Amino acid sequence: MYASLRKTARELLQNALQTSITLFKIIIPISIITRLLQQWGIIDYIGIILAPVMKLVGLPGEMGLVWATSMITNIYGGMVVFASLAPGLDLTVAQVSVLGTMILIAHSLPVEVMIAKKTGTRLRITLTIRLAGALLLGWILHVTYTLTDTLQQTNRAFWNPPTVDPTWSAWILAELRNMVMIFLIILTLMTILTILKKVGISDLMTRLLAPIMNILGIGREAAPITIIGMTLGISYGGGLIIHEAQKGNLSRRDLFASVTLMSLCHSLFEDTLLMVVLGSHLSGILFARMLFSMVVIYLLVKLINKMPEHIFNRHLVRQVNSPGNKKEDHIK
């Protein structure tokens, strides 16, 4: 009994370490490049370019810098910029809800798109879906709020950003803390999944989620990890998906659908709360985002199931290094 537990613990530690290292190989160089782009002011220029786009979703051009910062760095970076620009713009709750929803769909793109790529989804497809999805849902919310005269009261944020240490040493320490946290969370998630499988709860969860997954077109094998990614974040759920992809346990179509759903709708708890403190309304940042993501995945799966195999393999996915991938069956 003790030997079995020790073997399981050793395997979990090795798997968590390997998965974390895979993520760190993506995160570290991308984070350094992002930091340099920020210091060189390139993100500011991207914000200027996005200013006309903001008008399409009913936002002032200055919010282009907020979205650009969120997309290139992370949500927290966008929140800091928002806090510095928003006080003089008299934004409504509807406008902040539109911005918050767009940020939640398209943020931390350099890191998260590369994680998706590592699972076998082509970079250009993930990037297109997230940017187009953010803009489309932002426009839908803008039109809906405007036509129904909803949430037109002046926004009041509940958060003032703390002073940020701009030095490289502070940034490096923060990144190291993030990597340690990522490893610990991945180890914890893998341990929980192993326990759930051992006691049969994983199968129960899969059966309970099967109707929803079937409607969306995602196979039951991908259901538990998809739910983890949606609730906790793509860095964690994506890390587990990478692990499963390299083991060859999931078909390419299930991987594609799962990762795409995670890309559009993830970290439902933490990220949603971050937008709430900026003044965003749950109607957009939570309910509309979930409904929109599920509709997109439903339609996308219908499309790829009718797509010839060679077109799917050539344009949507790429080969993942693994002991052996499953044959690509249609998603049930």
> pLDDT per residue over 35-65, tens digit each?
888 788 888 888 889 999 999 999 999 999 9
> pLDDT per residue over 194-247, tens digit each?
787 777 766 666 676 667 777 888 877 777 778 777 877 777 666 777 777 777
- pLDDT at residue 329 tops 60: no
178-203 average pLDDT score: 77
- pLDDT at residue 162 tops 70: no
Distance between CA 311 and CA 303 in Å, rounded? Answer: 12
Q: What is the pTM for the complete model shown?
A: 0.82
Distance between CA 35 and CA 262 in Å, rounded? Answer: 25
Q: Do residues 114 and 22 make contact, with C-beta atoms less than 8 angstroms apart?
A: no
